[in-house]
Amino acid sequence: MTEDTRPLDGYDEGDRRVLVRYAALTTALFVPLLFAFAGVRNLYPFAASNMMLGIRDTEIGRDYYVLRGETISGETIDLPAIQLTNALTGRNWSLVSTAVENKSFKIRSPHPANVRLAAAFGGIDKLPGAARLDDLLRAWGTIYNSRLPTSSNQRLTSLRVDKYRWEGGVNGQYDRFVESWRTVL
């Protein structure tokens, strides 16, 4: 290149240093980001495609729960827990499975009421299954009934959680009943 056609001609020495610094800074930031993006496999849209592939083992069975309530008029209705709590559906059902399996007693710092209840039964290992499920069902029943007038025959008198087991596989049986818990409000 001749002196007249060099890319930094027309800039004084201070401007050239600034341009070189910005070029070095851009390279220093861009190269690690490039390696990070190249190494990440679950970056959109690939994460969505991985989810659709069904990475979970379809041969392993899964438990699921159905929430039902009995109204004053004697009708049994299905209650979507998501409408009661305005939470994500997965969070609601993890509450149920946690209560059924007494997981709230097995955490590092359990609630003092849970410590007292476990001590009353002689330890965590001697607790009955679903020791706190009644409390969860009563809370959900109270939420449901609070949205209805006191004179409504759609108010709940009891709540029931039915546990079902999906056996897995493509044509697995989805409706194998396992057990049920009922709470009178």
Q: Would you list the DSSP string of 87-115? A: S-HHHHHHHHHHHHTTGGGSSSS--HHHH
Does residue 52 have a pLDDT over 50?
no
Per-residue model confidence as pLDDT tens digits over 65-109: 889 999 999 999 998 878 887 766 656 677 888 899 999 999 989
- Which residues fall within 8 angstroms of residue 86, CB to CB, at 6 or more apart? none
Number of C-beta neighbours around residue 177 at 10 A = 10
Closest CA to 114 of 97, 99, 95: 99
Single-letter amino acid, residue 7 = P
Range 164-185 average pLDDT: 82
- Which residues fall within 8 angstroms of residue 172, CB to CB, at 6 or more apart? 61, 166
Backbone angles phi, psi at 37, to 5 degrees: -70, -35
Per-residue model confidence as pLDDT tens digits over 120-157: 999 999 999 899 999 999 999 999 999 999 999 999 99
Q: What is the pLDDT of residue 90?
A: 59
Give strand ranges (E) for 13-153: 62-71, 76-78
Single-letter amino acid, residue 146 = S
% of the chain exceeding 70 in pLDDT: 76
Q: What is the pLDDT of residue 180?
A: 93
Per-residue model confidence as pLDDT tens digits over 1-51: 455 555 656 677 888 888 889 999 999 988 888 877 776 655 555 555 444
- Which residues fall within 8 angstroms of residue 13, CB to CB, at 6 or more apart? none
Three-state DSSP state, 169 = coil
User: What pTM was computed for the model?
Assistant: 0.65
CA contacts within 13 A on the Cβ side of 75: 8
Q: What is the pLDDT of residue 9?
A: 64
